[in-house]
Structure 1
Amino acid sequence: MTAFLFKRIDNAPLIVFRVLFGLLIFLESVGAIFTGWIKRTLIQPEFTFNFIGFDWLQPLPGNWMYVYYAVMGVFGLFVMIGFKYRWSMAAFTLMWTATYLMQKASYNNHYYLLILICLLMLVLPANRYLSVDAKQNENIRDISMPGWCSVIIILQVGIVYTFASVAKLYPDWLNYTVVENLMLGRKNYPVVGGFLQQHWVHVFITWAGILFDGLVVPLLLWKPTRKIAFLASVVFHLFNSFVFQIGIFPYMSLGFTLFFFEPRTVRNIFLKRKPLYTAGEVKVPGYKNLILWVGAVYFLIQLALPLRHWFIPGDVLWTEEAHRMSWRMMLRSKGGYIHFKVVDKQNGKAELVYPKDRLSPKQRRIVATKPDVIWQFAQRLKKEYAAEGKDVAVYAIGKVSVNRRPSHTFIDPETDLAAEKWDPYRHSTWILPEPERKTQLSSPDEEKGNSQENKP
């Protein structure tokens, strides 16, 4: 194992990936500015729903979040050209993680993946060639790297794909309901909208999703199937980019394939002027044990997080508990409506609070379906009324539909959420059990009725 992990190999895959990665995080940063994402998500809302425990992380006032993202873009360019690489990578990682934690209305598993890749890139010697750092300091210039540099990227990618594949093995995915719902939202796409509504397309996407996620890593690792797996990756990720419009992440995923090819191949295609390293020396550093222990702990955490929902009662598709950071991507559609009843404990007077009067459209969607956000909004109402000298109880009243099935009451309407504590490691008993699933789907009229905007 030591010889495998610490054998020196040509570093062309890492160098090329660094250039691509820096470009992509630059585009992600400036794209958030020019597409209006920052305005919709961080500026226009009255407040944001932070990850619980990070309430102190708030968007900068006024238009300063535009500056914040512009600075992140600059750090992305610095990563791309390898200028002050460690500092630039650390700064981007810190700033990106902060924006991830300060809002949940635009949560995406890929945002979390970007944090992890940033952390890995932070420890990798990605600036040893084709970088400003290496040009300014010949002492760091190198054409090789230890084998573990490729291994950790491959392991991380393997974990993501494997859990994504396994998560799809449930009835609503296997009977094509999930894909049908996903494609229904794309029916107005020009040219391909009608094509995406075909049943055979849903069948193909359903099984292609399971098989691709489950097999792409081993097929990329095996040389006889590597080119076929790469071509499948190109088709898969370009399809996702076009249909789901998920930013840089399909292209970052294609970038991961660099680590599966022979370094010689990557060097011959992208870095023809770079000397090819072939010595294959085994250099074991004095801090070998530190690398092994840190790596072991990191990947044990990566394995544990997607499994933690099995130790919490209830179906994660319904309760949402332990859903995040577990690679459960595009597994269900969920909609609902909700309002809150605020009762003054002193005089018993009640009033209703409707999210549509306080929240942005994206926030309204998550406050109706995410129990942690429901709890956070109840806590916010409690504080607001306390500032007026009132001690109140807060009750949530609403229903949720999963995969266009009939709506059911989600939160116990008799529980005072203002008095509840949040425990991320245990089931919240005020989340009502999911009723037995039936095959009937909601009609379009019922779906319209489930929309939050159509409730009083």
Structure 2
Amino acid sequence: MLNRFLFSKIDNSQLIIFRIFFGILVSLECYGAILTGWVRRTLVEPKFTFNFIGFDWLQPLPGFGMYYYFFVMGTLGLLIALGYKYRFAIISFTLMWTGVYLMQKTSYNNHYYLLVLISLIMCFLPAQRSHSLDVKSNPSLKSDNMFAYVKWIIIFQLLIVYTYASIAKLYGDWFDLGIIRILMLSKAGYPIIGDLLQEPFIHKIISISGILFDLLIVPALLWKPTRKIAFFASIFFHLFNSIVFQIGIFPYLSLAFTVFFFEPETIRNIFFKKKKPFILQKVELPSYKNLFYVLGGIYFLIQLSLPIRHHFIKDDVLWTEEGHRLSWRMMLRSRTGKLKFQVVNTENGKTTIIKTEDYLSGKQRRRIAGYPDFIWQFAQRLKKEYAEKGEHIEVYAQNSKVSINGKPYRPFIDPKVDLASAKWNYFWHNEWIFPSPTEEKNP
């Protein structure tokens, strides 16, 4: 039965139009990152970036290098849309986008992670088999069908994203509207809708609809009687996100995913009226069937496991941030922090309070005090810089406090721990993070 479900041949119009949408959108994202100044602010102006720990070797290119880097990625997006040298273009884009994702966390976004995953999946899909320049140059590539598993891989990935995003919202500050009030406060200056977004009843609507939309949208799109309603709800939801939160291409990429939920014939009739219809649906087991099950099983096991890993790490992820990333915990908290970095020369005992403005961009300074991995990485940066001058130092986080979702500031990092010599624990709790206020009350 599973073989029939996954390896039936169906019309490939869904995949073809998604390839075109995908290529255009990632091209706009990359060119837009240059034009809006995102590349300059995030990758050019900072003296160093807070990369994912373990990827220190991934650093921005010097000079104008990152502008060229993003221009190349944008051009690869156009090649993907045109289906020209598709396999080269999608693999190259995936590697380059993943590199950008891993080399900086200051502008971390779950959507950037989703784009890494979708790009990776697209590397293995036959998305160039129709309406592509590759087919024009090599007609033997042409095909009007694909295995059903192509659309189900995308749909299952989306189901994971939306379901975990919905579950993550089932906590106090989301229901108490604390985080939503903070998110909307920064939108007060918007013309027309700015004042409306400050109304408590709007916050309640956003709270309830956010949970319900994430939980129900995939099942509602899959079920034919609710598909059209769900589609129009998606349009409203994602356009609202685009206007209010200004998150680039990702609301439109989310809308592009909906092509996989409609019947292939419907998509063909809308976008490819001259395309030859594929009517015969048959099961054809590929030679790589067993490998498909093994690799697919491993991939989705990882995707199902990563968002729940924080349950196996000591203390509350909302406080420690350990296990937050790669978990679809979207728009759940607003963190602000304050601290002073104290450097102590171990040879002469000289103490120095570091001026972070000498090292960090404005955005980096706003984030560093609230995130333990940022704090630890900056301590390692100081250790390296002083070592190059022949000095051995210790680094302490003094008066470290964090406020989450507008709550009172609480002590965050143990001021007695030398962060320069502390090791980063990738998979478990770092004990130099003070217990959360909740943990203190319930030891």
Aligned pairs for 1:20-419 within 5 A:
20-397=21-398, 398-419=400-421
Q: 345-354 or 186-195, which moves further after superposition?
A: 345-354
1:140 Cα deviation (Å)? 1.1
Is 38-47 or 348-357 further displaced after alignment? 348-357
Say which SS state the counterpart of residue 416 (structure 1) adopts: coil
For 2:7 and 2:247, the matched residues in 1 are separated by 36
Q: Share of identical aligned residues, percent?
A: 58
In 2, Cα distance between equivalents of 1:64 and 1:384: 24
SS in 2 for 1:133: helix
Q: Structure 2: which 5+ runs fail to align?
A: none
Query: Counterpart of 2:149 in structure 1: which amino acid?
Result: W
Deviates more, 1:202-211 or 1:287-296: 287-296
CA distance in 1, matches of 2:178, 2:124: 42
- Could you tell me whether the CA contact under 8 Å between 2:413 and 2:434 is conserved in 1? yes
Counterpart contact for 2:396–2:418, Cα < 8 Å: yes
- How far the C-alpha of 1:366 sits from its partner, in A, is 2.2
C-alpha displacement of 1:160:
0.2
> Per-residue displacement from partner, 1:333-380 (whole Å, max 9, x unpaired)?
111112200011122211101322320111112211111111000011
In structure 1, give the amino acid aligned to 2:60.
P
Q: Which amino acid in structure 2 is aligned with residue 76 of structure 1? A: G
Counterpart contact for 2:337–2:367, Cα < 8 Å:
no
Residue 163 of structure 2 contacts residue 214 of structure 2 at CA under 8 Å; is this kept in 1? yes
**Structure 1 CA distance for aligned equivalents of residues 422 and 162 of structure 2:** 36
Q: Which residue of 2 aligns with 1:435?
A: 437
- How many angstroms apart in 1 are the aligned matches of 2:166 and 2:439? 22
Pairwise CA distance, 1:409: 1.3
How far does the alpha carbon of each residue in 1:395-452 deviate from its partner, in whole angstroms, 9 at most, with x for none?
A: 01221100000001110111100110112101000010111499xxxxxxxxxxxxxx
Aligned AA for 1:388?
A: K
CA contact (8 A) 1:93 1:119 kept: yes
Runs of at least 5 residues in structure 1 that lack an aligned partner in the other structure: 439-456
| Contact 2:174/2:180, CA 8 A, preserved across alignment | yes
In 2: Cα distance, 1:151 partner to 1:318 partner: 36
Distance in 2 between residues matched to 1:135 and 1:338, nearest whole Å: 61
Structure 2 residue matching 1:417: 3-state secondary structure: coil
1:66 & 1:309 partners in 2: Cα distance? 36
SS at match of 2:123: helix
1:18 corresponds to 2:12: no
Question: Which residue type is aligned with residue 424 of structure 1?
Answer: Y
> In the aligned structure 2, how far is the partner of 1:429 from the partner of 1:325?
22
Query: Could you tell me how far apart the structure 1 residues matched to 2:376 and 2:439 are?
Result: 26
Instruction: Answer yes or no: is the 8 Å Cα contact 2:315–2:439 preserved in 1.
Output: no
Instruction: From the superposition, tell whether residues 240 and 363 of structure 1 become closer, same or farther in structure 2 (CA, over 3 Å).
Output: same
CA contact (8 A) 1:338 1:355 kept: no
**Matching residue's letter, 1:87:** F
TM-score, structure 1 length as denominator? Answer: 0.95
Residue type of the alignment partner of 1:421: K
Q: TM-score, normalised by structure 2?
A: 0.98
Amino acid at match of 2:201: W
After TM superposition, give the deviation of residue 95 of structure 1 in Å: 0.5
SS for the counterpart of 2:237 is: helix
Matched-pair contact (CA < 8 Å) for 1:338–1:354: no
Alpha-carbon distance between aligned partners in 2 of 1:399 and 1:154, rounded to the nearest angstrom: 42
**Structure 2: how far apart are the matches of 1:180 and 1:270?**
41
Q: Tell me the residue number matched to 1:441.
A: none
- In structure 2, the partner of 1:448 is none
- Deviation track 1:27-63 (CA, whole Å, cap 9, x = no partner) reads 0110010000111011111111111111111111101
CA offsets per residue over residues 226-271 of structure 1, 9 Å max, x none?
Answer: 0001111000000000000000100000011110110011111111
- Deviation sequence 1:124-176 (CA, Å, 0-9, x none): 10000000011111111001000000000000000000000000000000111
> 1:165–1:210: 8 Å Cα contact kept in structure 2?
yes
CA apart distance, 1:3: 1.0
Residue 275 of structure 2 aligns to a residue in which SS?
coil
**Paired letter, 2:46:** P
Aligned residue for 2:108, secondary structure, equals coil
Paired AA for residue 426 in structure 2: P
Pairing partner for 1:421 from 417, 420, 423: 423
Alpha-carbon distance in 2 for matches of 1:372, 1:354: 19
Name the CA distance, whole Å, in 1 between partners of 2:156 and 2:434: 37
Structure 1 Cα separation of the partners of residues 186 and 356 of structure 2: 24
